[in-house]
A = this chain, B = another copy of it.
Amino acid sequence: MASTDRPVPAGLQGEIRAYVLQGLASGEWATGERIPSETELMARFGASRMTVHHALKALSAEGWLRRVKGLGTFVAPPRGHVLQARLLDIRDEITGRGRVHSLQLLSRELRGASLQDAALFAVEPGAPLLHAVALHREDGRPVQVEDRLVDPARVPGVAELDPADESYFSFLMRRFPYPEGQAAIRAVQPPPELAVALELGPGEPCLEVERVTRAHGAVLTVARLTYPASRCVVTGEIAPPGGWAKGADE
């Protein structure tokens, strides 16, 4: 609830850190303004230069400060609101709530890449891509349609994977634990076939999350996840600079 519970450095570094953060929070130093130099802080806290340096370096890495060699240390500009949302495996989400997850494979085929696919995946048109569509249920109620395209050349074994056994998400995370990519969230009027599959109420919209996942710059998979509006919210924290670099402690 408070701000970040990053492991606060103890001792002198902690004091210097607190001093600087206090100056920022109180508005004593405005955006872009110069804060005391390492030399000044050494004197003020009776610390060695390394100690001061590390305190400032950490604050700079967290986005509070900007340091310029030859010039000094400045207050970093605020970055607007940054929303940090976890996008988890739907399966984990459901079982984590103590519900029962089930999956119905609607289609799965190896097909040639369209021109559009080819451009996105940076492969030759016609190159084989795995296209799978699955319906996820929570206690029997449909909660997500997963429409996924994977490049089997970059994800060996994915063509043989039975998503009822292990989700594509989990399979990919095991092999590429540090994903890069982009995501987009939209509200959509679902096409009729999705409305039927998801057992939507009349006129009920959907939330659509589209994800492009890369590893080493190469696109691995594109997923389009469609949720009934009434059964999904994306939530997240508005992050202070530095975000939640704290390890995974939950």
Contacts and interface: CB of A to CB of B under 8 A. Distances in A.
Interface of A: 1-3, 6, 24-25, 27, 31, 50, 54, 58, 60-63, 65-66, 76-89, 173, 177-189, 203-207, 211, 213, 216-217, 227, 229, 232-248
Given A86-B81, A186-B207, A188-B187, A247 B178 contact: no
B177 A236 contact: no
Contact of A82 (B63, B85, B232, B246): B85
5 contacts: A80-B89, A81-B88, A82-B84, A183-B235, A186-B234
A63 B246 contact: yes
Given A62-B245, A79-B248, A85-B83, A185 B182 contact: no
Nearest to A170: B80
Contacts of A229: 186-189, 205
A187 B213 contact: no
A19 to B, nearest CB: 16
Contacts of A178: 24-25, 78, 240-241
B84 A243 contact: yes
Contacts of A65: 247
A4 B183 CA distance: 16
Contacts of A60: 247
Contacts of A179: 81, 238, 240
Contact of A203 (B50, B62, B189): B189
B245 A241 contact: yes
Contact of A238 (B25, B183, B205, B217): B183
A72 to B, nearest CB: 14
Contacts of A50: 50
A78 B240 CA distance: 21
- Which of A2, A78, A206 neighbours the largest number of chain B CB atoms within 10 Å of its CB? A78
Given A50-B50, A61-B245, A205-B189, A3 B82 contact: no
A25 B78 CA distance: 32
A238 B85 CA distance: 10
Sorted from nearest, which 3 A-B pairs have the closest CB atoms? Answer: A205-B205, A187-B187, A187-B229
Contact of A233 (B66, B83, B184): B184
